[in-house]
Amino acid sequence: MIRQGMAGAFAPGKGWLSGQVAVGLLLLGVAACESGTANPPVIDGVASVGGVVYLDIDGSESLTGTDEPVEGARVRVTLPASGTEVAADTTDDAGEFLMEEIPVGTVEVELDSVTLGDTLLAVPVDSARFTLGAEQTLGIALGVTYPQLSLAEVRTAAAGIPIFTQGVVLNPRGQAPGGAVHVVGDSVALRVLVPPAVLAAIGDSVRIQGRVGTDLGQPALLDARIFRIVPGARDVDPLTPSMGEAAAAGDHGLDAALVEFTSGSVVSEETVPEGFLLIVTDGTDTLQVRLRTSQGFINGGIPSGAQILRLVGLLVPNAGEDTWSLVPRNTLDVRLGPPPGTSPS
Amino acid sequence: MGVSAQATAVSDLTGSVADGFGDPVPNAVVSLWRGGSATGREVVTGRNGTFTFPGLPPGRYDVRAEALGFHPMVVRGIAVRPGSGADVPLRLRAGTPPVTVVDTMAAPQGGPEAQRWLEELEFDAPADARTLREVLGVVPALDREMGALGLPSGYTTVTVQGVPFRSATVSPGRQDPATLLTAGSMGLVRVAPLGPSGALGLGAGGEVEVFNPYLRSGESELFAAASFEPLWAGRFETGEGLTPSSLWLQGRTALDLVPDSVRVVVGADFHHVERPRPPLFTQGAGPTGPGLEDSDVVSAFALLDWDLGGGSRFDFGARVGSRPAVKSPFPLSWPGQHSGLEAQDVTVGTGLVTGVAEQATLSIRGGFTRSARSGGEESWPLDPSSPLLVDVASGDRAGVAPQARGEALRQGIFGSVGVGLDAADHSLSAGLEVLRSSHELDPLAGSSLWIGAGDGFTSGWVGAAARYENSLGARDFAGTHFAFSVRDVWRPNANVQLELAGRWHQESLPVEDLNPSAAWYSLTGIVPGEPEATATGIGGHLGLDWLAGNGAVRVTAAAGATVDETDPWLFAEALALDGETDHLRVLVDGSGSEPWPAFPDPADGRAAPSLLLFPESRDLPATVYASGGISTRQAGLTFGVSGIFRRTENLARRVDLNRTSVPSGTTEAGRPVWGMPALQGNLLTEVPGSSRRFQDFDHVWAVLQDGWSQYLGVTVSVERREDDGVQLGAWYTLSRTTDNLPGLWAGRPELAGTTAVPGDEDWSEGTSDLDVPHRLGAVLALPFPLLEGGVLRSRLQLISGRAFTPGFRSGVDLNADGIAGNDPVFIPGDGVDGLPDRWDCVTDSRGAWLERNSCRLPWIPYLDVGLSLALVRLGGANLSLQVDAFNLLQAYDTTVDDALFLVDPSGGLQTDGTAQLPSLRTNTGLGGELFDSRPGRMIRFGLRWGGGR
């Protein structure tokens, strides 16, 4: 729209004679000369910017069905170069925002980092600069995310910060004590404490959101949520340390790791509330093996000296001690042979 | 039917010549022609001012009276009937023939550049001009010429008899019968500046001299003169012994090819000037090193006046002129572009006047005019070691702003048909005119360059540069003008004359060639209207001339309105800025750029198209005026008081639509800062594009029609004209010129309309750049006591110094809106440190924004003296020696340092309010001389032969 107005033919100036006198002269004078001044065309076109702010759960940097709305995020419309804010809105519980009556022009749309706090990060976009034309509505999805850390970084991160990480599941929830899911990435493993009913199978490639914390004296992800990216992504090959190394896993970077032994023997067995506790050794040191009845280990009476044919499990810290136990995930993880000189039972 | 000339009875034509108060004028030369014939008789009035042409056959005669100190006057179509004769009272108005002085209302006060250009400009009056109206047709030509030079156009105001004129479309109602000139009398119109112009006119401010080549039968005139400026004072003089000089040769002669029927007047002017070459151009093509620069200005004209008999007459006139480009130090241009301006002009006009009834005449006129202006063909590389440049670069003298307006070719054909009717006390005329003018104008030529710091300009300089890219060069278009005018002069009695006139004018422009950017309109939501192809205006004039109190008091009054045409440069710019032409802006960091003077690498800059949106509803510039005067003669002295009011509306301003919708910050004083400031040495500019609302565009100019200009002046005068040859006159004019058009004088139209100061709706309003509040002049002419026939003349003039607005250095864009020079200064409440006391204009504005043109330079005095000595009578004419001394007080105008605050490059950008700005420091050199191009005292020796008086 052009705003136009007809100012007086002779607008008053700062001269000695006012415009009225000039008009009077015209009238007296003689003849009318056409006159009129148009105000400048005013750009009063407006545009709208709306959309959603989502938590980029799957790390795709675009809005997908997996992602979740973010409430309370402040979205700003600013001028390029100067960053001057021309409009802002805060997302509702559906993560949606809408700004209307924005003056047309080239703008940038961004998340107000203040409302994101110290932990959330805006998902980077290729270009945040848009040209808003008159009566246009710009729809835009703005992602936020937590810092994406590797498992090794998580183990050294400050406690309490929410993060995203990725790894391969070593065990379904329930196969490890305390509702933990062990995940491994590169050569580092981590215990991830998740609520019940989390679907995660061995070998799944997962993205994990959680809060850095400690459990059983070791770094762990607390209050975690696991999102399967690729189910059954790969086989998981256990590590093969010595039992001495496994018993002191913290000193050898083996906390939460999946390890396997194919030799050694049982030293002793005792009954504990959760099942049986085996003490095994391969000559380097002894290692506790926790056979839980919940995992199907219901038959005790393993003789001392029984040969270890295959023993696989997760290394779990012992509460209050600086030692680790091996926790087999299920009965398939344990194959024992009779002590030397006895017939197989 | 014309009056038959076959009657055998003869009669006498008698008459009297008087001045404006009815007192007789002795020794006036009165010429008589029959029915428009080119030849005639001539007598001289006696002491009682009377004359007689005895024994005339019946018919229609023209009478022309001319006397020293008066404007010539012509009365046409006097009927001499058998036995009854005729009695013709002629009343002359004071003046100085043959020069008609036209006041350009202080136009040359704008600085040395303007003055220099004005010195070198010539303007053609139509060779066939026979009326003042046609003479004044030069004014728009003057305007356009000035516009072509980047000088303000549409601004020259010509006043004659207290009535301001400012248009080619001058109403015929404003023709003053007392100033009617004979056929072909206008051969050359030259703008003469104050100072060494050769003019001894009485105008205040600038003058337009109209040289009248009118010669009587068989008469010839030659003038040869040489001038020297031994005291050339310009700072760029190039060495000892280089004295600027010039040589004038002028000649003209009237030949009766066929006695009583065909007369030819031919003339030629040659003006050779040698001036010091500015050291700016001591490298490269052309003459190098210290020396004098030649330029030759030549022109020639020829007029043919043919009495066809039967009351009909045919005339033909032509004039050609040429002026070469002259190297000039400012404005600077990029090498390879133009540093000077050359001009070629051709004007041809012809007409036929015939009587169609006893009291009616029909006239048909037509002609062709062509005016070409272009930059010099030569490429003149600049000398990087020139002190002019180093001066600008060193210290705190940031800023060079070259403006090269490129080529301009204008040509047009015109025609008119008019009828005249004399009945009873009325003299009625009406006419229809058509003008078809074509233009080839390139308003986008040239580059601009601002320098913040540099190492002698050879490398490592820091600054900013800009130019238009993809420009297709000159835009050509043609416009058509129609006008219909009617005028009546009523003389109810011998002492009263009333004049009433009206004029209708229509202008057509090819608006269909405008190609506005669809993208822009789509983005902004502005719905463009259809520009009007035609614009119409009506003007009129009412005039009164009343001799009251038994002739002791003369009262004149006039009022009216005129309508001007659309500025063709503006239309050409609208054609050029159509969205295809990018405006390139480059910040130069001095590290990887080509050494100056090469243009920085365009790849380092930002290019986006500029637009100029031509107004859809076109309102032609319109002027109203009113003037009045009263004069009386007492004891041989004539006292006069007169006043003029003029106001022009609808002048073009422009506003940048593509500025960001909200500022990036606001200073404590309230100045909005739009883009992101970038400190380039001691230059402050914006990060290119940071102030743009739509990044896809650069400046988008909307042309407003809210510009206005107003003049109000009162003049008191006293004159003495007696038979003893002693003439004395003194004048004082108090005036005030206001407008809302800053930058116009500097050729920067973008400054008008874009300046805003918090709390002030339009800072632009105020004292005009052209305001000259006081003009005092005195002339004295008296017989030279030592020699018979010698006349000594002198002129003294004092005019107010130029007003200026203390601000920032050239190129400093303090509010980062992409336009340098539109930033008023805020005077802190505790004043400005280190400023000399004389700048009360600044210190009086504490805690406020400094108003436009609030400061003023000192008075400018001019003194010219001339001496004419009649030597011998040679070949029937006088040979006289003429010695003139011009500018004896060595008056000059200069380019002053108008920066009140300087950018301090060491301070970086600092937070001021919510904005980022550099720290500023006071420029204690405010008002000092930046560039001195003052002329020296000039002495001219000339020999004049001819004339007869």
Q: Is the pLDDT score of B195 beyond 80?
A: no
Q: Is the pLDDT score of B185 beyond 80?
A: no
Q: What pLDDT, on a 0 to 100 scale, did the predictor assign at position A53?
A: 94
Chain A residue with Cα closest to B688: A81
pLDDT digits (tens, 9 = 90+) for B697-712: 999 999 988 888 887 8
At B550, the pLDDT band (50, 70, 90 cuts) reads confident
Instruction: Confirm or reject contact between A94 and chain B (CB < 8 A).
Output: no
Beta bridge partners of B221: B252, B946
- As for the ipTM of the complex, it is 0.72
Chain B residue with Cα closest to A135: B525
Q: How large a percentage of chain B has pLDDT more than 90?
A: 12
Mutate to test the interface with A, among B661, B703, B714 (most CBs of A within 10 A): B661
Residue found under tokens 């020139």: B386
Residues of chain B with C-beta less than 8 angstroms from the C-beta of A133:
522-525
Q: Is the pLDDT score of B494 beyond 70?
A: yes
Q: Among B509-518, B803-812, B933-942, whose mean pLDDT is lowest?
A: B933-942
- Inter-chain CB proximity A17 and B527 less than 8 Å: no
Q: Is the pLDDT score of A190 beyond 50?
A: yes
> What average pLDDT does range B626-632 have in this prediction?
84
Instruction: Kindly tell me the sign of the dihedral angle through the C-alpha atoms of B177, B178, B183, B185.
Output: negative
Q: What pLDDT, on a 0 to 100 scale, did the predictor assign at position A221?
A: 95
Q: What pLDDT, on a 0 to 100 scale, did the predictor assign at position B35?
A: 54
* Most confident listed range (A273-287, B34-48, B391-405): A273-287
Distance CA B93, CA B88 (A): 16
Distance CA B360, CA B4 (A): 14
- Inter-chain CB proximity A2 and B689 less than 8 Å: no
Q: What pLDDT, on a 0 to 100 scale, did the predictor assign at position B857?
A: 87
Instruction: Answer for the pair B796, B777: CB distance below 8 angstroms, yes or no.
Output: yes
Distance CA B887, CA B867 (A): 15
* Most confident listed range (A114-123, A154-163, B190-199, B313-322): A154-163
Q: What pLDDT, on a 0 to 100 scale, did the predictor assign at position A39?
A: 61
Residues of chain A with C-beta less than 8 angstroms from the C-beta of B623:
33
pLDDT digits (tens, 9 = 90+) for B638-686: 888 888 787 888 888 889 999 999 999 999 999 999 999 999 888 899 9
The stretches of A208-258 forming alpha helices (DSSP H) are: 243-247
> What average pLDDT does range B921-939 have in this prediction?
74
Q: Is the pLDDT score of B117 beyond 60?
A: no
- Inter-chain CB proximity B662 and A38 less than 8 Å: no
Backbone angles phi, psi at B650, to 5 degrees: 65, 20
> What average pLDDT does range B786-805 have in this prediction?
80
At B935, the pLDDT band (50, 70, 90 cuts) reads low
At A258, the pLDDT band (50, 70, 90 cuts) reads very high
- Inter-chain CB proximity A25 and B665 less than 8 Å: no
Q: How far apart are the first and last CA of chain B?
A: 38
pLDDT digits (tens, 9 = 90+) for B726-766: 777 787 888 888 888 887 656 677 888 777 777 666 888 99
Looking at CA atoms only, how far is residue A226 from chain B in angstroms? Answer: 44
Q: Is the pLDDT score of A40 beyond 90?
A: no
Q: Is the pLDDT score of A76 beyond 70?
A: yes
> What average pLDDT does range B813-818 have in this prediction?
93
Backbone angles phi, psi at B907, to 5 degrees: -85, -10
Q: What pLDDT, on a 0 to 100 scale, did the predictor assign at position B154?
A: 32
Question: Higher confidence at residue B583 or residue B949?
Answer: B583
Q: Is the pLDDT score of B118 beyond 70?
A: no
Instruction: Confirm or reject contact between A104 and chain B (CB < 8 A).
Output: yes
Looking at CA atoms only, how far is residue A100 from chain B in angstroms? Answer: 15
Q: Is the pLDDT score of B559 beyond 90?
A: no
Q: Is the pLDDT score of B145 beyond 70?
A: no
- Inter-chain CB proximity A41 and B623 less than 8 Å: no
Instruction: Answer for the pair A300, A266: CB distance below 8 angstroms, yes or no.
Output: no
Q: Is the pLDDT score of B523 beyond 80?
A: yes
Counted across chains A and B, CB pairs separated by less than 8 A come out at 184
- Inter-chain CB proximity A82 and B675 less than 8 Å: yes
- DSSP state for residue A250 in the 8-state scheme: G
Q: Is the pLDDT score of B106 beyond 60?
A: no
Distance CA A259, CA A253 (A): 12
pLDDT digits (tens, 9 = 90+) for B253-268: 878 788 767 878 788 8
Of A13, A29, A134, the CB nearest to B524: A134
Q: How large a percentage of chain B has pLDDT more than 70?
A: 69
Instruction: Answer for the pair B117, B152: CB distance below 8 angstroms, yes or no.
Output: no
Q: What pLDDT, on a 0 to 100 scale, did the predictor assign at position B949?
A: 35
At B602, the pLDDT band (50, 70, 90 cuts) reads confident
Question: Higher confidence at residue B919 or residue B631?
Answer: B919
Q: Which two tokens stand for residue B1?
A: 């039917």
**A 124-163 → B contacts, CB under 8 A:** 129, 131, 133-135
- DSSP state for residue B178 in the 8-state scheme: G
Instruction: Answer for the pair B392, B399: CB distance below 8 angstroms, yes or no.
Output: yes
- Inter-chain CB proximity B559 and A30 less than 8 Å: yes
| Close Cβ partners of B363 (under 8 Å, ≥ 6 residues apart) | B351, B352, B353, B354, B416, B417, B418, B419, B420, B431
Residues of chain B with C-beta less than 8 angstroms from the C-beta of A40:
655, 657, 702, 704, 753
| Close Cβ partners of A163 (under 8 Å, ≥ 6 residues apart) | A146, A147, A148, A149, A154, A157, A209, A210, A211, A212, A221
Q: What pLDDT, on a 0 to 100 scale, did the predictor assign at position A17?
A: 30
Mutate to test the interface with A, among B517, B624, B763 (most CBs of A within 10 A): B624
Of A10, A31, A39, the CB nearest to B649: A10
Chain A residue with Cα closest to B623: A33
At B929, the pLDDT band (50, 70, 90 cuts) reads confident
Q: Is the pLDDT score of B475 beyond 60?
A: yes
